[in-house]
Amino acid sequence: MRNVLSIRGNEALLTRANPLAKFAAVVLITLVLALSIDWVSASTALLGELALFPLAGLSLRLLWQRGWPLIIAAALGGWSTSILSADSGRILLDAGIWSISEGSLQLGLGFMLRGLAIALPAILLMSCTDPTDLADALAQKAKLPHRFVLGTLAAMRLVGLMAEEWQTIGMARRARGVGSRGTPSQRFRAMLGQSFGLLVQAIRRASRLAVTMEARGFGGSERTWARESSYSLLDAWVLLGGVLLAGAAALAAQWAGTWNFVW
């Protein structure tokens, strides 16, 4: 998981922006897109987002590699919407209970584009934001409690370890005669046992990590920050970009008359 979304080696412009500014811009775009299901606002936002890719150090290939499950999910969502939604306008394809009409195709397309347009900013944000920098910004700028923020950050590092541990426990249990193959119910039971093993290891690791952190003086009321989280002119541009993109999407849909407010 970590190596797929890692930003190491990414030196694009947006990696230097403050995570909070990026986060705010993403929330703004998502919010506007969530207000209406129509293909004009979604495709406007999508085009704008694709144009921003180079600034985040992403390419279409990288996007496909990192985000293919989301992309396929959006396509499936669109397809099933166009098949299943109520028909309106000319019928384009009729296969018994499934039929695609102009109206349902439009709705399905809107659905798919909107799904993509909402998912993309999140992928964009993750690919140009380091979790440590995000934590710094949340604690220093958003003034969230530092115990909570840093505790979560340290725990997240363990998640990657747990993925390796899961594989090891799976092998270790096979070496004891617990098969992870067989009927679905056998597999399910094997997975429950393996989950329990992982849980035990996770709790042990977490408590040792907690001791390490406490022994390094963590948990006091006052602390300084080695890395200052600061805003720059770039962050104003990021926010402006978010406002413009969200605004353009809404206006384009209003102008084309496709804006349909869902509430």
Partner 1 sequence: MPASDAGVRPATVLARGWGWRHAGRATPAVHGLDLDIEPGERVLLLGPSGAGKSTLLHALAGVLGDGVAGDGSEDDADETGVLHLDGGAPRGQRGRAGLMQQDPETQVVLSRLGDDVAFGAENLAVPRDEIWRRVHEALDDVGLAHLPLDHPTSALSGGQKQRLAMAGILAMRPGLILLDEPTANLDPAGVLEVRDAVGRCLDKTGATLVVVEHRVSVWKDLVDRIVVLRPGNAKDPAVLLDGPPDLVLEQARDMLTAAGVWVPGYVPATRARIAGDQAALENAAVDRADIGGPAQLLLAAEGLAVSRERPRRRGFKTIPPAPVQLGITAQVRAGQALTITGPNGAGKSTFALTLAGLLQPVEGHVSATLELSEGAGIDPFKWKAEQLIARIGTVFQEPEHQFVTGRVLDELMFGPRHLGHGGERVDELLERLRLTHLVEANPYTLSGGEKRRLSVATVLAAHPRVLVLDEPTFGQDATTWAELASFLSELLDAGTAVVSVTHDEEFTAVLGGSELRLGPASQSGTRQEAGAA
User: In the bound complex, what is the minimum distance in angstroms from residue 106's beta carbon to partner 1?
Assistant: 28
192 vs 256 by CB, closer to partner 1: 192
Q: What is the per-residue DSSP string for the chain?
A: -HHHH--TT---GGGGS-HHHHHHHHHHHHHHHHHB--HHHHHHHHHHHHHHGGGGT--HHHHHHHHHHHHHHHHHHHHHHHHHSPP-SSEEEEETTEEEEHHHHHHHHHHHHHHHHHHHHHHHHHHT--HHHHHHHHHHTS---HHHHHHHHHHHHHHHHHHHHHHHHHHHHHTTT--S-SSHHHHHHHHHHHHHHHHHHHHHHHHHHHHHHHHTTTT-S----SS-----HHHHHHHHHHHHHHHHHHHHHHHHT---B--
User: In the bound complex, what is the minimum distance in angstroms from residue 181's beta carbon to partner 1?
Assistant: 7
35 vs 153 by CB, closer to partner 1: 153
217 vs 257 by CB, closer to partner 1: 217
User: In the bound complex, what is the minimum distance in angstroms from residue 95's beta carbon to partner 1?
Assistant: 26
As to burial, measured by CB atoms within 10 angstroms (0-12 exposed, 13-18 middle, 19+ buried), residue 73 is middle
Q: CA angle at residue 114 from 59 to 240, to 5 degrees?
A: 65
User: In the bound complex, what is the minimum distance in angstroms from residue 32's beta carbon to partner 1?
Assistant: 30
Amino acid at 257: G
User: In the bound complex, what is the minimum distance in angstroms from residue 39's beta carbon to partner 1?
Assistant: 25
88 vs 152 by CB, closer to partner 1: 152
Nearest to 109 by CA among 34, 44, 38: 38
User: In the bound complex, what is the minimum distance in angstroms from residue 127's beta carbon to partner 1?
Assistant: 16
100 vs 135 by CB, closer to partner 1: 135
140 vs 258 by CB, closer to partner 1: 140
CB 107 within 8 A of CB 81: yes
Q: Which residues bind partner 1 (CB under 8 A)?
A: 2, 8, 64-65, 68, 131-132, 153-154, 157, 160-161, 164, 167-169, 171-182, 193, 197, 200-201, 204-205, 208-209, 211-220, 222-228
User: In the bound complex, what is the minimum distance in angstroms from residue 75's beta carbon to partner 1?
Assistant: 13
159 vs 240 by CB, closer to partner 1: 159
